[in-house]
Chain A
């Protein structure tokens, strides 16, 4: 890799990290204000800079300052090494997963075609699952190292839950992998630019409606969001695995939760809703228009910007869905959670896989391959 390539890679990584870290305060704001309006309250609207509260958007800033200056307490009975390691182990995988998510079509810089994706791995989806399942270690370590019964119970629940739902998560995507015949997310998004009968965008949700539903439910479970927040269960376990954490260590868990949410939503969008594809306008058409307008170089940038906007809009909808569901549904009981995971989701995912395989076989047979 030459110098320019390295610089471009660093710029992309920096952009994605910036995006993810800045999504957190916005999401916290959206969560708090959204929850307030849903519950007939007003929510934070007091904190202001020079009289500008920006509808409460300044509140996260004040929260950050508060987190920084709070006492950073390590319980004397905790296992210090693992206690300090746990928040980092939770945050890093949450940040890493986003690396394979493409957020726009290729952009032309001089002679170079740059992919708008941090890492175009040929094992894309496998990488996602491998890294996402690392997140459970942070939760387990946090609960175990805190030496607190609530933390411990929370982490035990979380690990059982995450392992159970990872199965149906993986199986629900396998159908899609079979349809598109690739593990690369960028290729999948590109394949979703096709149309059915020239009208309906051939997104993953059209090809695999059941897979979509199962995947969305699994993502809710994987990110420990309500109705699957048994790891936290504030009503019964204080806040579960991060009960003993204070100050910026707690904030790290908090950030990890919201970043995992963003990554989960980005995966849903990329796999099932066409990723950066603008509905009804194919990437070639869009690039043609913008190239006519600004020339091929700047045109590809404008097209990428429009596609990034499309991606962000879909992402935003799913992030809102996470919040919306949280303030609508109550938490599952533990046995209900396990029953849903093993006796409903898993058989459905397997059935979906089987039917998809059979249909593909018939289509391929008809095509004489």
Chain B
């Protein structure tokens, strides 16, 4: 096997450099590691002093007062969109429930009195504890009826608090102001990319 040669470098030199890096060839005062330890302590002290002087470089976000800025596509708690009449836009087609990998959407369809609208959800329940916040329901919806917010502050005293029914999903944003998160795709659909399985 011929050795791999790098242009302009004598392989013998490389070997010497490698040997020079080993412990035995360093001077004794380096091998006590004391200069290196002192150097390391200098690094930590520099950080300490800089952080005592001002908090610019600290990574801590002081949570309840300061909140992390999340992306506009953040997938937080869902909400159901409404028609101008106030009814849900949902037509109970079960597309979201079918797309859901966590199987957390439960829908009961009913006949809508308006003949222009075929169906409407009598019940629409999302189990927030099963949900994995993947946003597939948003992608699947043909009516742009479901979308996500940037709400991640989901705490509750009971498991029941996380069973979000239709009324809750339609109206919770009226009670709590939350920015929009992941929304249905609204641009031109690239047919070619779609055929490859990507939107």
Q: Which residues of A pack against B, CB within 8 Å?
A: 34, 36-42, 324-325, 327-329
Known: A38-B48, A40-B51. A325 touches B41 (CB 8 A): yes
Closest to B55 in A: A42
Contact B40 A38 (CB under 8 A): no
Q: Which residues of B pack against A, CB within 8 Å?
A: 37, 40-41, 43-45, 47-48, 51-52, 55, 57-60, 62
Q: Is the interface of B mostly helix, strand, loop or mixed?
A: helix
Contact B37 A37 (CB under 8 A): no
Give the one of B43, B44, B51, B55 with max A CB within 10 A: B44
Contacts of A328 in B (CB 8 A): 37, 40-41, 43-44
Contacts of A327 in B (CB 8 A): 44
| Complex alpha-carbon distance, A40 and B52, angstroms | 10
The 5 closest A-B pairs by CB, nearest first: A37-B51, A42-B60, A328-B44, A38-B44, A37-B48
Known: A37-B47, A328-B43. A42 touches B62 (CB 8 A): yes
| Complex alpha-carbon distance, A327 and B40, angstroms | 10
Contacts of B51 in A (CB 8 A): 37-38, 40
| Complex alpha-carbon distance, A41 and B44, angstroms | 13
| Complex alpha-carbon distance, A328 and B45, angstroms | 9
Contact B45 A324 (CB under 8 A): yes
Contacts of B55 in A (CB 8 A): 42
Contacts of B48 in A (CB 8 A): 34, 37-38
Contacts of B58 in A (CB 8 A): 37, 40-42
Contact A329 B59 (CB under 8 A): no
Closest to B64 in A: A46
Say how far A351's CB is from chain B's closest CB, in angstroms.
Answer: 14
Among B40, B52, B60, B62, point to the contact of A329 (Cβ < 8 A): B40
Closest to B40 in A: A328
| Complex alpha-carbon distance, A134 and B45, angstroms | 35
Say how far A108's CB is from chain B's closest CB, in angstroms.
Answer: 42
Contact A41 B41 (CB under 8 A): no
Contacts of A329 in B (CB 8 A): 37, 40
Contact A39 B47 (CB under 8 A): yes
Contacts of B60 in A (CB 8 A): 36, 41-42
Question: What would 14 A/B residue contacts be, using CB atoms closer than 8 Å?
Answer: A36-B60, A37-B47, A37-B58, A38-B48, A40-B47, A41-B58, A41-B59, A41-B60, A42-B58, A42-B60, A324-B45, A327-B44, A329-B37, A329-B40
Say how far B62's CB is from chain A's closest CB, in angstroms.
Answer: 7
Closest to B39 in A: A328
| Complex alpha-carbon distance, A36 and B37, angstroms | 20
| Complex alpha-carbon distance, A328 and B52, angstroms | 17
Known: A37-B52, A40-B57, A40-B59. A324 touches B41 (CB 8 A): yes
